[in-house]
């Protein structure tokens, strides 16, 4: 029976390249020449920590990260911007987590959308991904195009198409 999986993953190496390019861009900017701003990417916890002096610089760093992700063909929807916290002195800290896997609520929305389409497919949730099965590959391709047309709040990839 033909199947495929719907997942939400970020390529770690491409993300690392985007973060390094964003760091270089920030270091070379004139308005950051006297700044003590830092961008750290913890690969184990998948969290980006930004520390800077004021809101204007924080916004500029966020924009640099997003633009570099777009240039590396990564979807910025995978970033979850937290709240600003005041660190020591006049510094502002912001933690940006990277969403990996499909959370339960998004999975329910995707399954409901697939069922509402009336296609003869079966969608099942498996941990942080979805598996879609059908007797017809054409129906599976229709499900992919249906999901691409909707916004579920995070980037989706379609992998492991099997016959």
* Domain boundary assignment for the chain: 3-8+101-162, 12-98
Q: Find the mean pLDDT for residues 90-114.
A: 91
d(CA 142, CA 138): 6
3-state secondary structure (DSSP) of residue 106: helix
Q: Which two tokens stand for residue 144?
A: 């992919």
d(CA 49, CA 16): 13
Q: Which of 70-74, 87-91, 154-158 has the lowest mean pLDDT?
A: 87-91
Predicted pLDDT at 52: 92
Predicted pLDDT at 89: 80
Mean pLDDT score of the chain: 90
Q: What predicted TM-score, i.e. pTM, was given to this entire model?
A: 0.83
The domain defined by 3-8+101-162 folds into Alpha-Beta Plaits (3.30.70)
Predicted pLDDT at 127: 85
- Across 18-128, the runs of DSSP E, i.e. the strands, are 38-42, 47-52, 79-86, 92-98, 121-126
Predicted pLDDT at 34: 87
- Looking at the predicted structure, is the pLDDT value of residue 145 above 90? yes
3-8+101-162 and 12-98 share one fold:
yes
Q: Find the mean pLDDT for residues 38-50.
A: 91
CATH pick for 12-98 out of 3.40.50.2020, 3.40.640.10, 3.90.850.10, 3.30.70.990: 3.30.70.990
- Looking at the predicted structure, is the pLDDT value of residue 148 above 80? yes
């Amino acid at each position: 029976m033909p199947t495929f999986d719907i997942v939400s993953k970020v390529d770690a190496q491409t993300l690392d390249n985007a973060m390094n390019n964003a760091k270089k861009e920030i270091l070379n900017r004139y308005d950051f020449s006297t700044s003590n701003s830092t961008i750290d990417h913890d690969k184990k916890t998948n969290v980006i920590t930004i520390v800077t002096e004021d809101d204007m610089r924080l916004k500029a760093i966020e924009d640099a990260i997003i633009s570099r992700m777009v240039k590396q063909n990564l979807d910025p929807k995978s970033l979850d911007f937290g709240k600003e916290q005041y660190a020591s002195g006049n510094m502002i800290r912001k933690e940006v987590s990277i969403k990996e896997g499909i959370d339960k609520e998004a999975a329910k929305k995707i399954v409901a959308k697939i069922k509402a389409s009336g296609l003869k497919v079966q969608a099942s949730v498996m941990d942080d991904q979805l598996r879609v099965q059908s007797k017809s590959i054409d129906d599976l391709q229709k499900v992919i195009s249906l999901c691409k047309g909707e916004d579920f709040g995070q980037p989706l990839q379609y992998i492991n198409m099997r016959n």
